[in-house]
Amino acid sequence: MFFVHILQSTVTNRYYVASMHDVRLRLAHHNDGWSRSTKTGRPWRIVYTEQYPDRSGAVRREHEIKRRKSRKYIEA
C-alpha cells in the first residue's frame, strides 16, 4: 500500500504534500531533520492521509494536490 500524506508544520503553519509507503517512518524522518525542504518547519504533524493500492496512484494524486497550489484546497 502507498499513501499520500499532508503534513503541517506546527512552527510555520506550512503544508508539505508527499507520497510514501510508510507514513509514520516518513514523519519521523521529517521531524529528525533528514529532509532539507522540511528541516526548518519541525515539528511536523500528519493532518491528512489517503491510501492507494499502488505507487502510481499515490503519485498521481500527490501531483494533483500540488498542481492546485492552494492552501484553501488543502484545508478544505
* DSSP 8-class letter at 39: G
Which residue is listed with cell 497550489? Answer: 69
Say what the pLDDT of residue 53 is.
Answer: 97
pLDDT at residue 11, as a whole number? 95
What's the pLDDT score for residue 76?
Answer: 82
pLDDT at 54: 97
Give the pLDDT confidence score for residue 2 in this predicted structure. Answer: 97
Q: Which grid cell is 13? A: 503553519
* pLDDT for res 73: 87
- Taken in order 17, 19, 24, 26, the sign of the CA dihedral is negative
pTM: 0.89
pLDDT tens by residue, 27-73: 999 999 998 888 999 999 999 999 999 999 999 999 999 999 888 88
Contacts of 6 (CB under 8 A, 6+ apart): 15, 16, 17, 46, 47, 48, 49, 65, 74
